[in-house]
A and B are shown apart, each in its own frame.
Chain A
Amino acid sequence: MRSRFLSNLVASQNFPFYVTGALFIILFGFGSVLFDGFFSLQVFLNLFIDNAPLIIVTVGITFTILSGFGGIDLSVGAVVSLSCMTLAVLMRDTTISPYVCMAIVLAIGFTVGLVNGLLITYFRLQPFIVTLGTMFLCRGLTAILSRDSVPIDNPQYSDLAFFSFEFGDYFLSLGAVIALFMVVLATLILRYTSFGRGVYAIGGNEQSAKLMGLKTDSIRVRVYIISGFCAALGGICYSWIMLSGYTLHGLGMEMDAIASSVIGGTQLMGGVGFMPGTLLGVMIQGSILTIISFQGTLSAWWTKIVVGLLLCLFIVMQALVNAHKNKLMNQIAEGSVKDSK
C-alpha cells in the first residue's frame, strides 16, 4: 500500500515541483541553522529582490522550452544587456521621459522575439542557432551604442529604482513585485488560456497538435515574442539594480535561466513544466549565493559547482521518473489487455 502511494507520488505530474520545494526548504533551513540572522523574512524577501531580473527572464525562457522543437532562447542575456544600454543612452542623450524609454525597450524586446519566432517557424531553422545569432547581434548592438559603462542618473528613473513596498519592518522592491506578478500571470496563462494549453500541446507532440487543428506556427511565434518581451522587462529590472548600461551586463544569464528552469522541473524536450517550479529554481540558486555570502570565505564560483551538481541531480531524477512512468504505463496497458481477454 505504502509503495503504491510512493509510486503514484513519483508518477504524479507535480513530483519535480515537490522535490524542488523540499530542496529549497532544506537549503534555507541549512542556512538558518548555520548562520545567525539568516532565518528572517527580509533575507527571504531579498531572494526576490536580488533575483527579480533572473526570475522574469526565466519565465520567458520557460515558455520557449515548453514549446518543444528544441525550443530555447539564448538571446535573453544579450537582450537584458541591450535594454540596460538603450535606457542609459536614451536618458543620457535625450530628454524623453523614462516611461517612454521603458516602452521603447519593451518594443525592442518584442521585436527581437518576433524576429526569432519568424525565422524559426517560417524557415524551419533550429531555435538554438537562430537565437545564438540574435544573441551575438544584441551583444554587438550594445557595444555599438557604447563600449564603456554608461551611468543612469535620471532622478525620475532613480526614484523608480529605489521605490519599495514597505510592510512593517520589511520591504520588497518594485522589480521583485513585478517578477512575482509575472510568475502568477504566466502560471495563469499556461493553465487557463487556450494559448497556454496550446504551448503544452505543441511541446508534447507537434504533429498531433497540428492534426487537432492548432495553429502551431502562430503559437510558436507568440512564445518567442513572450520570451523577448520578458527579457526586455528583466533588463529594465536589471537596470534598476545596476543603474547603468554596460556590454557585459547579463553575461551568461541565459544559461542561469535554463538551469533554473530545469531545476524547477521543466523538461528540455518540451511539453512538461510548471511555472512556479521555475520561481523555486531561481530561488534555490539565490539561496546558494546567500549562504555563500553569509559564510564569507567561500568564493562565488562554488555557486557554479553546486548549481552544476543540482542540475545533475535533477536531470538524473527526471530520467528515472520518466522510466518509472513508462513502466507504469506499460503495466496499465498490459492490465487492460488482460482484462479484455
Chain B
Amino acid sequence: MESLVKKFTQSSLALPLVALAVLLLFNAFFVDDFFKIEVMENGNLYGRPIDILYRASSLIILALGMTFVIATGGIDISVGAVVAISSATCCVMLGGDISGIPEHPFFVAILASLCVGIVAGIWNGTLVAKLKIQAMVATLILMTAGRGIAQLMTDGQIITVYYKPFAYIGGNIPGVMLPTAMIIALAMVLLVLFINKRTSIGLMIQSVGINANAARYAGIKVTAVLFAVYIFSGFCAGTAGLIEGSLIRAADANNAGLNMEMDAILAVTLGGTLMVGGRYYIGGTIIGAITIQTLTTTMYAIGVSSDRLPAVKAIVILLIIVFQSEKFKEMYRNYKLKRLDAQLGSKKEVTNA
C-alpha cells in the first residue's frame, strides 16, 4: 500500500490528478447536483460532468497537438488564429444563405477547413524545421497575421450559417447520446494513444526534444519529425476550428479561438510536460485540459463572472507550476530530511538520558 502511494506521488500524473480531485470535491460539496447525469427528452445526455467534457473537447484536441510540439522543445502560439481561419473557411464555404442551402457540399467544407489547418502547420513547419527559426517567433507570424486573414475571408463580417447539419459538429447528431465534439475528441485521443504505443514516433519526438543534434547523428530525420508535429498541431487546430465555428453556427474572426493557444499551453504544462521539451505526457495533457474546464465551470457555478475568472485561474495555475518546479521539490525534500534529523536527534537524546 505504501509503495503504491509512493509510486503515485512520484508519478507525473499525481499533481494534475490531485488538482482535479480537489476541484471535484469542492464541487461535490458546494454545487447542487454536480454529478447528476440525466437523459433529456430528445435522448441526449445532460449534466455538469458531460458539460465539462463537452466544453473541454476543443481544448483537449488543441492541447494534444501542442503536447507534441512542446515535446520537441518548440511552441505553437498560432493555434488560436488557425482556429479562427478554419472556422471562417468552413462558414464561407457553406455560405450565409438564409434558406439553409449550402454553397458547397458539407464534406467539402469540412475537408477545406482541415486542409487549411494542415497548410498552416506546413507553414509553421517550414519556418521551424527548414529555416531553423525559433518556434515562438515563427508561430508569432501566423498568430499576428492569422486573424487578419480570417477577417479577409469573411470580409470583416460575422457570417451566420443556417445550414442545419453544420450545428451537429458542435452540438449533437440526432439520435446520438453524446455531443459530437466529445466523440471527435475521444477519437483523436485514441488515435494519438494508438500511434504513440504502436510506432516509434513518440521516441523520435522525445529524442529531438532532448538534443536535436544528437538525434540527427543517431539517424533520426529531425526535419521530418518537426514537420510532422507542426502539421499535426495545425490539423488539431483545424478540427477545433470546426467545433468552435459550429458551436455558434457562425464565423467570428475576432473571437473564435481567442486565447485558446494560452489555454492549450497551460493544459500541457499542467499535465507535467516540460516546456524545454524531451518529455511528454498525453494523459497529463488530457487531465490538464479537463482541469482547466472544470475550474471554469465551477467558477461559473458559484457565480464568478467570465471576465473575473482569469484572476482565479491565474492563482491556481501559478500555485500548480510552483508545486511542480524542481526547486519546490528540492525544498520539500530538504524539509523532510531536516524533520527526520530532528526526530533521530530527539531519539538519541532519549537513549542518552
Contacts and interface: CB of A to CB of B under 8 A. Distances in A.
Interface of A: 70, 72, 119, 122-126, 128-130, 132-137, 139-141, 143-144, 147, 247, 255, 258-259, 262, 268-269, 299, 301-305, 307-309, 311-312, 315-316, 319
A132 B144 contact: no
A262 B327 contact: no
Interface stretch (B22-30, B303-311, B342-350): B303-311
Given A123-B325, A130-B321, A315-B137, A305 B152 contact: yes
A282 to B, nearest CB: 14
A317 to B, nearest CB: 11
Contacts of A144: 308, 311
B305 A136 contact: no
5 contacts: A126-B275, A129-B269, A137-B310, A144-B308, A269-B134
A268 B133 CA distance: 10
Contacts of B313: 136, 140
Nearest to A303: B148
Contacts of A262: 137, 140
B203 interface: no
B315 interface: yes
B150 to A, nearest CB: 9
B327 A139 contact: no
A319 B132 contact: yes
- Residue from A123, A147, A269 having most chain B Cβ neighbours under 10 A: A123
B322 A125 contact: yes
A132 B266 contact: yes
Nearest to B328: A123
Contacts of A258: 140
Contacts of A307: 144-145
Contact of A140 (B142, B265, B310, B328): B310
B152 A301 contact: yes
B307 A143 contact: yes
A247, A308, A319: most-surrounded residue (chain B CB, <10 A): A308
Given A123-B327, A125-B325, A133 B314 contact: yes
Nearest to B143: A255
A137 B308 CA distance: 9
Given A125-B322, A133-B321, A302-B148, A312 B311 contact: no
Nearest to B75: A128
B321 A301 contact: no
Interface string B281-317: 0000000000000000000000001011111111101
Given A133-B317, A140-B308, A319 B131 contact: yes
A268 B136 contact: yes
Nearest to A127: B275
Nearest to B275: A126
A319 B328 CA distance: 38
Contacts of B75: 128
B273 to A, nearest CB: 11
B145 to A, nearest CB: 2
Contacts of B136: 70, 72, 128, 268
B326 A147 contact: no
B318 interface: yes
Given A143-B305, A268-B134, A268-B136, A304 B148 contact: yes
A146 B317 CA distance: 23
B311 A140 contact: yes
A316 B145 contact: no
Contacts of A122: 327
B147 interface: yes
Interface of B: 75, 127, 131-134, 136-138, 140-149, 151-152, 156, 253, 262, 265-266, 269, 275-276, 305, 307-315, 317-318, 321-322, 325-328
Given A136-B314, A308-B142, 10 more contacts: A70-B136, A124-B327, A135-B314, A139-B310, A301-B147, A303-B148, A304-B151, A305-B152, A307-B144, A315-B127
Contact of A132 (B127, B253, B265): B265
Contact of B144 (A123, A304, A316): A304
Contacts of A70: 136, 275
The 9 A-B residue pairs whose C-beta atoms are closest, nearest first, are: A140-B311, A308-B145, A304-B148, A137-B314, A136-B314, A140-B310, A143-B307, A136-B310, A305-B148
B312 A140 contact: yes
B133 A316 contact: yes
Given A125-B322, A132-B266, A304-B147, A255 B140 contact: yes
B138 A315 contact: yes
A132 B262 contact: yes
B156 A299 contact: yes
Contacts of B318: 119, 130, 133-134, 137
Contacts of A308: 141-142, 144-146, 148
Given A123-B325, A136-B311, A137-B311, A147 B305 contact: yes
Nearest to A304: B148
A309 B327 CA distance: 41
A129 B313 CA distance: 13
Nearest to A134: B314
Contacts of B148: 301-305, 308
Contacts of A126: 269, 275-276
B156 A301 contact: yes
Contacts of A319: 131-133
B131 to A, nearest CB: 5
Contact of A259 (B140, B146, B321, B327): B140
Contacts of B147: 301, 304
A129 B265 contact: yes
A312 B137 CA distance: 9
A126 B141 CA distance: 22
A299 B151 contact: yes
Contacts of B305: 143, 147
A148 B262 CA distance: 25
Nearest to B132: A319
Contacts of A269: 134
Nearest to B135: A268
A302 to B, nearest CB: 7
A29 to B, nearest CB: 24
Contacts of A129: 265-266, 269, 275, 317, 321
B307 A147 contact: yes
Nearest to A248: B307
